[in-house]
Chains A and B, each alone.
Chain A
């Protein structure tokens, strides 16, 4: 008994010490290699790297969101280091929160304390973002959120900004389309029970009346539900004009197939959560005609501003080359978040938190795949409803929805 304790005490101390050492090392991301190789280029950046932290949900239930974000950041780090920012290389330390707020808290503490980052992107999901927000606020650390919940920036706080369009905008685009273009009034809501679906559904419930819409049924499903016909049967019984489905894959694809099975002919209006190729692959024929709000990234031809089109084309090409797939919306969020932060650092000419804060609040006309950003001390979202478009699935690809 006694001797085993000695051994175990030593083991514990060693384990913790290994953590300390590993934490100080450069082993966190493999991408630091990219920074080192590019510094050897003639006109390349030099000096200490500017260290940016990122927390994404690369594993766990939200990994379809977090994984492309991570891929985009890894790809972008290499691209950026061909020129550098302020003449210095950029190092992005990516942490995985496993779609779990507790892990996000540990990760944010590590990024602030251990890695001495100058700004943090993340997290992919609202729960993790809301969990780390008090910590970054207390530390005076700029946080660029990559999640959609209204509560992240409403009301705006000193140190938190957001890259993706928040629920408010996406819901507005979807409901506005139903009211103005489809000219329908009775809607049924089917949403995922995860944070994404619940938050969107709450926003729809709060604002349907503003769009002259009546909600005749609200039902939900769990992400791993194998069949949604029961929920849809109930919705069918309420005779809506249109079914609004708010969730991330695979639920919305199952819903599309089940609606077809039940012979429901109502139009299907989705959310920006299905703005990726996976939905089209899964839903197949049943996905044809599905309408949803999304950033213009999905239909690059829809970019009218030549500057934005050039940026998006470049991003699509680089991401496709790096991963073999066109970038889903979430990759665009990561690109946008990183662009906004680095642009602010570049303009501020400094990596001091207060300077980054001031520069972010003065951001004007910064272009990303998600739109054109104008931040102010009272607006930490930056986008306007015009930045979202409504797209339709036709022939297995995305086209602008008929106006």
Chain B
């Protein structure tokens, strides 16, 4: 592997990794607020991309299409919480998780009916002339993906640490009961978390569509990878989710480069998941440390 090749693998890895990161971040927000693993998370990514395609096709400028898609999917997330998750508040986590499984089936099939079976393209935000870095190349869209991911992560940190609402959300994830005693409306926090989670994942979907197109079936695999990324970074830790996503993306591409034999790419996911298993066995709380691990 030459240095230029290495650079190219890293560029490729961070492109994919950013989307894993945003999906993982979406998982984390809902998990922290409710302890629910949202199996419909990947569908939010898919819906974001496809909605943007439709809005753009309908004549909306790219910026409006992107923002509109994020807003619409955020509403979908909120409505989903109100209609399907809230009635199960007292029924336990598992029942809520199964509801997300049902939602992912329903959303995926609805998308198939609405947008058809073929993948759809979206033009890049600012052209597609590759930028040369040494002998490796990177697309302007990849820079957008990276930059906006960074903006979202920073904005989320500011929200969590500096705003009253953000502090309330954090309080709930630490101890929901105590937070309620302090007068924080738990149900509003949960609703907000679903909306934000859907919006962030949808933003990921909008940003990646110019690179990889978007089809109704993309959600399942992106959700799986996002979940794996969240585990790798430490489930429940937002910074860990981002770190886990980028690590997973780079691990996949470096596997292709590092394994000398032809056909190594078939094993890229296997290597990534093997490392996930090793991390779980050696450092169960994930690379960045999730919420506490107890040994019995």
- Cβ contact within 8 Å between B265 and A231: yes
Nearest residue, chain A, Cβ from B263: A218
- Cβ-neighbour of A281 out of B15, B121, B128, B217 (below 8 A): B121
> Which chain A residues lie closer than 8 Å to B92 at the CB level?
none
Comparing B63-71, B111-119, B193-201, the segment that makes contact with chain A is B111-119
- Asked whether any CB of chain B lies closer than 8 Å to the CB of A224, the reply is yes
- Asked whether any CB of chain B lies closer than 8 Å to the CB of A237, the reply is yes
- Asked whether any CB of chain A lies closer than 8 Å to the CB of B257, the reply is yes
Nearest residue, chain A, Cβ from B256: A230
Would you give the 0/1 interface string for A218-250, flagging 1 where the beta carbon is closer than 8 Å to chain B?
111111111101110110010000000000011
> Which chain B residues lie closer than 8 Å to A215 at the CB level?
262
> Which chain B residues lie closer than 8 Å to A254 at the CB level?
212-213
- Asked whether any CB of chain B lies closer than 8 Å to the CB of A63, the reply is yes
Nearest residue, chain B, Cβ from A198: B266
> Which chain A residues lie closer than 8 Å to B8 at the CB level?
229-230, 233, 262
Contacts known (A224-B222, A284-B121); A230 close to B208, Cβ less than 8 A: no
- Cβ-neighbour of B256 out of A67, A231, A250, A276 (below 8 A): A231
The interface residues of chain B, by DSSP majority, are classed as helix
Bound-complex Cα distance A233 to B19 (A): 21
- Cβ contact within 8 Å between B212 and A64: no
- Asked whether any CB of chain A lies closer than 8 Å to the CB of B163, the reply is no
Nearest residue, chain B, Cβ from A262: B137
- Asked whether any CB of chain A lies closer than 8 Å to the CB of B5, the reply is yes
- Cβ contact within 8 Å between A249 and B119: yes
> Which chain B residues lie closer than 8 Å to A40 at the CB level?
none
> Which chain B residues lie closer than 8 Å to A250 at the CB level?
118-119, 212-213, 215
- Cβ-neighbour of A229 out of B11, B215, B217 (below 8 A): B11
- Asked whether any CB of chain B lies closer than 8 Å to the CB of A193, the reply is yes
- Cβ contact within 8 Å between A218 and B213: no
Bound-complex Cα distance A263 to B211 (A): 16
> Which chain B residues lie closer than 8 Å to A281 at the CB level?
121
Tell me the smallest distance from the CB of A396 to a CB of chain B, in Å.
13
- Asked whether any CB of chain B lies closer than 8 Å to the CB of A392, the reply is no
- Asked whether any CB of chain A lies closer than 8 Å to the CB of B221, the reply is yes
Bound-complex Cα distance A288 to B269 (A): 31
- Cβ-neighbour of B16 out of A59, A227, A253 (below 8 A): A227
Tell me the smallest distance from the CB of A44 to a CB of chain B, in Å.
34
- Cβ-neighbour of B218 out of A67, A224, A282 (below 8 A): A224
- Asked whether any CB of chain A lies closer than 8 Å to the CB of B139, the reply is yes
Bound-complex Cα distance A281 to B139 (A): 20
Bound-complex Cα distance A12 to B245 (A): 45
Contacts known (A250-B119, A282-B119); A224 close to B213, Cβ less than 8 A: no
Would you give the 0/1 interface string for B1-44, flagging 1 where the beta carbon is closer than 8 Å to chain A?
01001001101110110010000000000000000000000000
Tell me the smallest distance from the CB of A351 to a CB of chain B, in Å.
33
Nearest residue, chain A, Cβ from B18: A226
- Cβ contact within 8 Å between A230 and B213: no
Q: How many residues of A contact B (CB 8 A)?
A: 39
- Asked whether any CB of chain B lies closer than 8 Å to the CB of A349, the reply is no
Tell me the smallest distance from the CB of A61 to a CB of chain B, in Å.
6
- Cβ contact within 8 Å between A67 and B9: no
Contacts known (A64-B118, A278-B119); A233 close to B257, Cβ less than 8 A: yes
Would you give the 0/1 interface string for A249-284, flagging 1 where the beta carbon is closer than 8 Å to chain B?
110011001001111000000000000101001101
Bound-complex Cα distance A223 to B269 (A): 13
Would you give the 0/1 interface string for A57-69, flagging 1 where the beta carbon is closer than 8 Å to chain B?
0011101100100
Tell me the smallest distance from the CB of B69 to a CB of chain A, in Å.
17
Tell me the smallest distance from the CB of B227 to a CB of chain A, in Å.
15
Bound-complex Cα distance A249 to B217 (A): 12
> Which chain B residues lie closer than 8 Å to A253 at the CB level?
119, 213
- Asked whether any CB of chain B lies closer than 8 Å to the CB of A360, the reply is no
Would you give the 0/1 interface string for B205-216, flagging 1 where the beta carbon is closer than 8 Å to chain A?
000100111010
Bound-complex Cα distance A142 to B215 (A): 35
Tell me the smallest distance from the CB of A256 to a CB of chain B, in Å.
12
- Cβ-neighbour of B208 out of A221, A226, A237, A260 (below 8 A): A226
Would you give the 0/1 interface string for B227-271, flagging 1 where the beta carbon is closer than 8 Å to chain A?
000000000000000000000000011001100001111101100
- Asked whether any CB of chain B lies closer than 8 Å to the CB of A217, the reply is yes
- Cβ contact within 8 Å between B212 and A233: no
Bound-complex Cα distance A261 to B210 (A): 13
Bound-complex Cα distance A249 to B216 (A): 13
Of the listed residues B9, B128, B256, the one surrounded by the most CB atoms of chain A closer than 10 A to its CB is B256
> Which chain B residues lie closer than 8 Å to A276 at the CB level?
118
- Cβ contact within 8 Å between B269 and A222: yes
Bound-complex Cα distance A254 to B215 (A): 13
Tell me the smallest distance from the CB of B130 to a CB of chain A, in Å.
5
> Which chain A residues lie closer than 8 Å to B11 at the CB level?
229
Q: List 6 A-B contacts (CB under 8 A).
A: A60-B217, A217-B262, A230-B257, A231-B265, A234-B264, A278-B119
**Can you add 7 more A-B contacts, CB < 8 Å, to A226-B208, A250-B212, A282-B120?**
A219-B265, A224-B220, A225-B16, A226-B212, A234-B264, A249-B119, A261-B139
Interface residues of A (CB under 8 A from B): 59-61, 63-64, 67, 193, 215, 217-227, 229-231, 233-234, 237, 249-250, 253-254, 257, 260-263, 276, 278, 281-282, 284
Closest 8 CB pairs of A and B: A226-B212, A230-B253, A250-B119, A224-B221, A63-B117, A278-B118, A229-B12, A230-B12
